[in-house]
């Protein structure tokens, strides 16, 4: 409940964030055409740091088990997208004129939802809230700088640890149980806008898990009907770099 209240206070709807970001991108690019070049020495820095905040939308990807096929206890399992919020720091090291490597340790409030329909057409909707520490390590591939603007793409891996995972829960009626540890990959793109004292870099990326988060050997039909669960995320971040 506390996580839900905090998320509702901090997060905006995904559509509003995207609209705001597009308006900011358009206005900043337009103004940058006539500005002098700021932070010209920044491109030669061997490393720099920054802070990042943003929003995410998460969903489970579900693979059904043989129990789901052989028995009609659970008729349908529908993953649901849920919003979240994140805050972190960034360390960036320059490898060449067009390639950097960076790490972004981040605390993330994340939620996924599942809707189960049983043989009586009864519907059970459950939300699974996470307090997540995630550590992405990514390569950043940069374009030529155009005055005070630059485009980049990023790709890399990540490890996640969920402090709120219910793998050790003593309750016997958990809808599903999920593991605390996960790993996966990130793919994204973004823009850098140079100002006199800082760089503003909005970014959007796909951040997907590769490990099976489901804890097996749990007796609930909702758990037995699932063979594998992985996490899918869309992450919108706003970096302020020094």
pLDDT tier for residue 215 given thresholds of 50, 70 and 90: confident
Give backbone dihedrals phi and psi of 36, rounded to 5 degrees, phi first: -75, 165
Interval 126-152 mean pLDDT: 94
Distance CA 137, CA 131 (A): 20
More confident call, 176 vs 168: 176
H-helix or E-strand containing 107? Answer: strand 106-118
Q: Please tell me which of 35-49, 127-141, 171-185 the model is most confident about, judged by mean pLDDT.
A: 127-141
What fold characterizes domain 2-241?
Porin (2.40.160)
Interval 83-98 mean pLDDT: 96
Give the lowest-confidence range in 32-41, 79-88, 116-125, 147-156: 32-41
Q: Which residues are CB-contacts of 98 (< 8 A; sequence separation ≥ 6)? A: 141, 142, 143
pLDDT tier for residue 32 given thresholds of 50, 70 and 90: very low
Domain spans of the chain, in order of start: 2-241
Question: β-pairing, 99-103 with 82-94?
Answer: antiparallel
Q: What is the pTM of this model?
A: 0.80
Interval 127-131 mean pLDDT: 91
């Amino acid at each position: 409940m506390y996580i839900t209240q905090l998320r509702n206070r901090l997060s905006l709807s995904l559509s509003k964030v995207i609209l705001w970001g597009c308006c900011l991108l358009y206005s900043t690019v337009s103004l940058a055409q006539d500005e002098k070049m700021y932070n010209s020495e920044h491109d030669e820095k061997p490393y720099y740091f920054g802070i990042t905040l943003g929003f995410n939308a998460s969903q489970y990807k579900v693979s059904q088990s043989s129990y789901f096929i052989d028995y009609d206890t659970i008729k349908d399992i529908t993953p649901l997208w849920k919003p979240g919020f994140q805050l972190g720091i960034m360390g960036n090291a320059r490898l060449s004129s067009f390639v950097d490597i960076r790490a972004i340790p981040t605390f993330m409030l994340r939620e996924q939802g599942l809707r189960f329909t049983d043989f009586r057409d009864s519907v059970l909707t459950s939300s699974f809230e996470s307090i997540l520490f995630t550590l992405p390590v990514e390569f950043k591939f940069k374009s030529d700088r155009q005055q005070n603007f630059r485009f980049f793409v990023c790709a890399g891996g990540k490890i996640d640890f969920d402090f709120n995972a219910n793998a050790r829960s003593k309750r016997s009626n958990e809808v599903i149980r999920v593991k605390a540890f996960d790993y996966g990959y990130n793919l994204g793109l973004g823009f850098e806008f140079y100002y006199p004292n800082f760089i503003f870099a909005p970014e959007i990326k796909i951040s997907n898990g590769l490990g099976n988060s489901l804890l097996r050997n749990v007796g609930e039909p909702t758990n037995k009907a699932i063979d594998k669960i992985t996490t899918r995320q869309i992450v919108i971040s706003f970096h302020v770099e020094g």
